[in-house]
Structure 1
Amino acid sequence: MFLGTHTPRLDDKGRLTLPAKYRDALAGGLMVTKGQDHCLYVFPRAEFEQMARKVAEAPLTNESVRAFQRYLFAGTDEQRPDGQGRITIVPELRRYAGLTKECVVIGAITRLEIWDASAWERYLAEHEESYAQAREEVLPGIF
């Protein structure tokens, strides 16, 4: 399970050091893909393959399904962390997420998300109120 917030830096070669606590879960390989809200999703390879099978089962006769499949799979890069736990974020994905030197990596249960630090701060500020409202919808009576 991926949880927490971390603030690694992107180096000049486009490499990002993954938080040490996630390295074992990602040592067998990972998939970096365009997420929603202009962040990147990082899935363990097995988790991505499971998701890909579900996506592949959707009817190809549906135009939205075809568009989603194209966007998802064309924008995915397979990586294996190096000995220091670094992965290289390819230029296309760095551009999509607007990544600069300062990044934020958050745990989102089944995946990591990589955000530009400024974009993450804006996202938090814009969505704090909706988080409070959604809490009751997602987990009624628990909080």
Structure 2
Amino acid sequence: MFLGTHTPKLDDKGRLTLPAKYRDALAGGLMVTKGQDHCLYVFPRAEFEQMARKVAEAPLTNEAVRAYQRYLFAGTDEQRPDGQGRVTIVPELRRYAGLSKDCVVIGAITRLEIWDAQSWQRYLDDHEEDYAQAREEVLPGLF
């Protein structure tokens, strides 16, 4: 399970050091892809393959399904962390997410998300009220 917030730096070669506590879960390989809200999703390879099978089962006759599949799979890069836990974020994905040197990596249960630090702060500022209101929709009766 991926949880927490980390603030690694993107180096001049486009490499990002993943948090040490996740390295074992990602040692077998990972998939970096375009996420929603202009962040990047990082899935363990097995988790991505499971999701890909579900996406592939959707009917190709549906235009939205085809568009989603194209966007998701064309924008995916397979990586294996190096000995220091670094992965290279390819230029296309760096551009999509607007990544600068300062990044934020958040745990989102089944995946990590990589955000540009300023974009992440704007997202938090813009969605604080949404988070407070969504509690009842997401977890009715729990609180």
Compute the TM-score of the two structures, normalised by the length of structure 1. 0.99
Aligned length: 143
Offset at residue 70 of structure 1 (A): 0.3
SS of structure 2 residue aligned to 1:48: helix
Q: Once the 2 structures are TM-superposed, how far is the Cα of residue 136 of structure 1 from its aligned partner?
A: 1.2
**CA displacement, residues 52-98 of structure 1 (integer Å, 9 cap, x when unaligned):** 00000000000000000000000000000000000000000000000
Q: In structure 2, list runs of 5 or more residues that go unmatched.
A: none
Mapped to 2, the partners of 1:7 and 1:141 lie a distance apart of: 34
SS class of match (1:69): helix
Please provide the CA RMSD for this pair: 0.4
SS in 1 for 2:130: helix
Quick one: distance in 2 between partners of 1:136 and 1:8?
A: 33
Q: Percent identity?
A: 91
Q: Tell me how far 1:17 sits from its aligned partner.
A: 0.1
Q: TM-score, normalised on structure 2?
A: 0.99
* 1:142 Cα offset (Å): 1.8
> What's the CA shift for 1:141?
2.2
CA distance, structure 1, for counterparts of residue 135 and residue 7 of structure 2:
26
User: Which 4+ runs in 1 deviate beyond 2 A?
Assistant: none
> Could you report, residue by residue, the CA deviation over 1:14-40 in whole angstroms, capped at 9, with x for unpaired residues?
000000000000000000000000000
Structure 1: 5+ residue stretches without partners? none
